Structure 1
Amino acid sequence: MSDWRWDCNTDDSNYVTGGLPPGVIAEAERIATELAAIGADAARVGRPTDREGGLREFDILVGRGFIQFLVVPRHECVYVCNIVWYG
Structure 2
Amino acid sequence: MTWSWEYHPDEQYVAAEAPPALLAEIERRADELVRAAEARHLDGTGHQGPGEGLRTATVANGFFVYFVVPRQQRVYVCQVTGV
TM-score when scaled to structure 2?
Answer: 0.77
Match of 1:5 in 2: 4
**Which of 66, 73, 78 in structure 1 is aligned with 2:70?**
73
Return 5+ residue gaps in structure 1 as ranges: 43-51
Percent identical among aligned pairs is: 38
Bigger radius of gyration, 1 or 2? 2
Structure 1 outlier segments of 4+, above 4 Å: none
- Greater share of helix: 2
Question: What aligned pairs does 1:1-87 form with structure 2 within 5 A after superposition?
Answer: 3-10=2-9, 12-39=10-37, 41=40, 53-61=52-60, 64-86=61-83
**Size of the alignment, in residue pairs?**
72
RMSD: 1.8
User: Partners in 2 of 1:58 and 1:32 — Cα distance?
Assistant: 9
Q: Take 1:27 and 1:59, find their aligned partners in 2: how far apart are those partners?
A: 9
Distance (Å, rounded) in 2 between the aligned partners of 1:16 and 1:80: 8
Q: Scaled by the length of structure 1, what TM-score is found? A: 0.74
* Structure 2: gaps spanning 5 or more residues: 42-50
